[in-house]
Amino acid sequence: MTSPKIKNPPTLFFDQLKFLGPGFILSASIVGSGELIATTVLGATGGFITFWVILVSCFVKVAIQLEFGRNAIITGKPLMASFSRLPGPENWAVWTTFILTLFKIIQLGGMIGGAAIALNMILPQLSPVVIAFLLGAVTSLLIYRNYYRIVERTSMLMVLCFTLFTLASVIALLYSPFAFSISDILSGLTFQLPSELIFVAIGAFGITGVASDEIIAYSYWCLEKGYAKYTGKSDGSPEWRHRAEGWIKVMYLDAIVAMFIYTLVTAAFYLLGASILYGNEIIPSGNELLETLANIYTKSMGEQVSLIYIIGAFFVLFSSVFATLAYWTRLLPDVFGRFGWINWKDPKSKKSAVAILAWVLPILWSLAFAFIKLPAFMVLFGGVVGSALLLLVVFAAIQFRKNNSKFQLASSLSSAILFWVSVLSIGLVSVYGIVKLF
């Protein structure tokens, strides 16, 4: 008898749109400190000439994300179950993910600190540290019950807010002395890369678009959206293959829509940096960058435009904190279950772990910001850690593709080419990041 959870995939485009969602959570996570800071600084350093780097970075890496999503739908299991079966010592990939995630507490401290700094520019009566703890409490309240629908809808709201505010900033820019033209944009699509910009460009490539955390998180969001449940347990039957093929295509559409969203916002930040800051002798970073851009808007367009940019920056930074907490409260219980620290199959044990993590993690992030108080450095540190995790992600993606190739689901020559280009590009950037660390 067919399980009531099993559902045939929609075939019409507008019906498929009703099942989108994981990509919105991913967009809320992706468009954060890296896009706001690193992308803007690249534009400030290289002008319009390296605009193509940002676009390629956002487009090329999505193939690895799709492979993780496809594996989630085919196996129907949490990601650490697949990681535990990777070639090598038992649970080595699970332990690696866990340890590197702990190091990224510093990065999340920088992210919540950046959001607090943006809000402090609107509410100067409160210190950034106090605001950071308040934002942590708000995030915990939104996440601790661990409802997917709340995460999805809140992410959609934040994505809508930061997209509108960012585009409003760019439109305001067009009516200022810093306006750019079509010819400026076209000059950035000639695939030129001056030698003095190679290091900055590679750094921006590594931190923009989908990174290791977002790729891993996407597996969990695909499961919680129901793609795997709708497909049913893999039995090799023609009916299962039909459902799997259809839901994988829905997942592809979800990922592509997300890609266009975060590419649009990332490109907007680049244009802001290239238009306003290019040519400056001193290029600020971190909270100084937010303040500099806001001040330039104030001088050219008035206080109201500066406020638009600051509000947009807040939503960008806070959305990443929110989406990351939602992801970590799924990843870490999965890890703990693999280690035998909690009973993964017991809903009460899992629920208790999620509730505790939802409150403890934001406190740790806020404490990291309170002690270090260098959000730009903290984010950069997390980016280097992410480079190491990316190597694991690439290795896992290759194994997933090898294991699932027998099903021949939603695969083509073009997807294979894009996958290996993605593997090569991410692998090179990961090695570069690790080399720079030492």
Q: What average pLDDT does the chain have?
A: 85
Would you say residue 433 has pLDDT above 60? Answer: no
> Token pair 């939603």 is at which residue?
410
Q: How far apart are CA 154 and CA 410, in angstroms?
A: 31
pLDDT at residue 26 greater than cutoff 70: yes
CA distance 73 to 76: 5
Statement: the pTM of the whole predicted model exceeds 0.85:
yes
Q: What is the pLDDT of residue 296?
A: 63
Digit-coded pLDDT (tens) for 27-60: 888 877 666 776 777 788 888 988 988 888 888 8
Query: Is a pLDDT exceeding 80 seen at residue 121?
Result: yes
Cα–Cα distance for residue pair 108/320, rounded to 1 Å: 9
Q: Phi first, then psi: what are they for 2, rounded to 5°?
A: -70, 135
For the chain, state the CA radius of gyration: 21
Strand, helix or coil for residue 278: coil
| Cα distances (Å, whole numbers) of residue 191 to 41, 109, 152, 175, 417 | 19, 35, 36, 28, 20
In whole angstroms, what is the distance from residue 176 CA to residue 180 CA?
9
- CB burial of 160-172 (b: ≥16 within 10 Å; e: otherwise) equals ebbbebbebbbeb
pLDDT in tens, 224-264: 999 999 999 888 788 999 999 999 999 999 999 999 998 99
pLDDT at 267 over 50: yes
pLDDT at position 382 is 81
Instruction: Work out the burial of residue 85: count CB atoms within 10 Å of its CB; fewer than 13 is exposed, 13-18 middle, 19 or more buried.
Output: middle
What architecture does CATH give domain 13-437? Up-down Bundle (1.20)
pLDDT tens per residue across span 280-322: 666 665 567 677 767 666 655 666 677 787 888 888 888 889 9
Residue boundaries of the structural domains of the chain: 13-437
Residue 251 has what pLDDT? 95
Q: Which two tokens stand for residue 33?
A: 């400190």
Q: Which two tokens stand for residue 63?
A: 């193939």
Residues in the chain: 438
- 219: alpha, beta or left? (left if phi > 0; alpha if psi -120 to 50): alpha
Give every CB contact of residue 292 below 8 A, 6+ residues apart in sequence.
277, 284
Give the Cα separation of 36 and 270 in Å (integer). 8
Mean pLDDT for the stretch of residues 105-129: 90
Q: For residue 2, is pLDDT > 50?
A: no
Give percent above pLDDT 70 in the chain. 89
Pairwise CA distance, residues 91 & 332, whole Å: 14
